[in-house]
């Protein structure tokens, strides 16, 4: 996403009445106050200033690996070893689409808090899945193995270039970037991967009617001290996250800027259809001062979909011919 695009985006938001250019000052132009253990940078209108470009890339997995059992934190040496391993080049697998070399990846590092999982509640760092959810997951995995590409509907939302990370986001191999813009009534979050823009009202308007469902849900924000709290509901049954979810999932995100270079990000998921209890994850989000977001040119529907489906038909024909010849 180029600087020109961001300028156009800002002007469109101004035209729509969502943002005013006068309110888009930098932190350096804003007032600031620091109390004991309480970092605050204020916008010209007095709200905590979260504006900037931030990374949610992390090598820390959402769930704690079972082999780590009750180990909650890595040592510095263990984290350094994990960080070093991920940038080592490895042999590519011929014929595997998306088996990129290392130059394409930007997976980040183990989170600066050195946790072994993003999940902090439950204490075991694992998703509290119901038995029914586990059964449905196994059935869905078996179906995908047998029917990977019967139609475009069998492909994921990200292969179809509709949405990748969902809300809240979970780190992937690249483009794990948020750009945050604010005015007194709205927060906008430009999501680099598959070019989403989240527009979050702060004016107390009610949630959309329950019949109105959206890919990334419907978000409402408010301030609790220095923390932006964003509550999101009204997900579509077609929404997909990087963890199990239903259309009735609710998420609560908390953004707290703790220094010039860091936002503490926390989210809680409530979804009784999927989990036995709510669960919470945390992730420090470092600033990317010199990072430029370029256009993520992923066409909705994916121009490559024709060849993805055509390739599947060729494989099916070859498998049928092999069976008939045996």
Model confidence band, residue 18 (pLDDT cutoffs 50, 70, 90)? low
Look at residue 319 and tell me whether its pLDDT is greater than 50: yes
Confidence band, pLDDT 50/70/90 cuts, at residue 122: very high
Region 17-44 average pLDDT: 53
C-alpha to C-alpha distance for 96 and 94, rounded to whole angstroms: 6
At 25 the pLDDT is 39
In tens, the pLDDT along 49-67 reads: 999 999 999 999 999 999 9
104 versus 43: which is more confidently predicted?
A: 43
Q: What is the spatial distance between Cα 240 and Cα 300, in angstroms, rounded to a whole number?
A: 16
Q: Residue 263: pLDDT above 90?
A: yes
Which two structure tokens, joined as six digits, stand for 289? 């001062």
Which of 226, 217, 184 has the alpha carbon at shortest distance from 198?
Answer: 217
Q: Residue 63 is encoded by which pair of tokens?
A: 């769930």
Q: Specify whether the CB–CB gap between 64 and 124 falls below 8 A.
A: yes
Give the pLDDT of residue 258: 96
**DSSP letter assigned to residue 205:** P
Residue 116 pLDDT exceeds 90 = yes
pTM of the model: 0.84
- pLDDT score for 30: 38
CA dist list (Å): 308 to 26, 95, 148, 212: 45, 13, 10, 32
Region 267-274: mean pLDDT is 97
Inform me whether the pLDDT recorded for 211 exceeds 90.
Answer: yes
Per-residue confidence (pLDDT) for residue 268, from 0 to 100 = 98
Most confident segment among 100-114, 262-276, 282-296: 262-276
Indicate the average pLDDT of the chain.
86
Lowest mean pLDDT among 36-40, 117-121, 125-129, 212-216: 36-40
């Amino acid at each position: 996403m180029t600087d020109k695009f961001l300028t156009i985006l800002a002007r469109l938001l101004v035209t729509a009445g969502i943002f005013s250019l006068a309110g888009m000052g930098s932190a350096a132009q804003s007032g600031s106050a620091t109390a004991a253990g309480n970092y605050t940078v204020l916008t010209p209108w007095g709200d905590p200033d979260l504006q900037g470009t931030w990374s949610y890339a992390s090598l820390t997995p959402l769930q704690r690996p079972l082999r780590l059992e009750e180990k909650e934190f890595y040592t510095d040496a263990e984290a350094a070893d994990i960080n070093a391993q991920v940038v080592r080049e490895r042999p590519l697998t011929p014929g595997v689409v998306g088996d990129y070399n290392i130059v394409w990846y930007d997976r980040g590092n183990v989170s600066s808090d050195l946790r072994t999982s993003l999940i902090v509640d439950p204490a075991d760092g694992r998703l509290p899945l119901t038995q029914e959810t586990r059964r449905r997951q196994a059935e869905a995995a078996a179906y995908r193995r047998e029917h990977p590409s019967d139609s475009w509907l069998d492909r994921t939302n990200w292969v179809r270039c509709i949405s990748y990370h969902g809300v809240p986001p979970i780190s992937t191999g690249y483009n794990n970037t948020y750009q945050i813009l604010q005015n007194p009534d709205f927060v906008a979050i430009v999501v680099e991967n598959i070019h989403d823009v989240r527009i979050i009202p702060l004016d107390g308007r009610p949630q959309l009617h329950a019949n109105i469902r959206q890919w990334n849900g419907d978000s409402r924000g408010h301030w609790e001290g220095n923390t932006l709290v964003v509550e999101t509901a009204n997900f579509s049954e077609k929404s997909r996250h990087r963890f199990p979810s239903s259309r009735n999932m609710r998420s609560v995100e908390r953004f707290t800027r703790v220094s010039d270079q860091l936002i503490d990000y926390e989210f809680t998921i409530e979804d009784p259809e999927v989990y036995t209890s709510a669960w919470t994850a945390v992730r420090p989000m470092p600033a990317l001062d010199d990072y430029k977001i370029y256009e993520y040119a992923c066409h909705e529907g994916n121009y490559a979909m024709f060849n993805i489906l055509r390739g599947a038909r060729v494989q099916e024909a070859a498998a049928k011919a092999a069976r008939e010849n045996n």
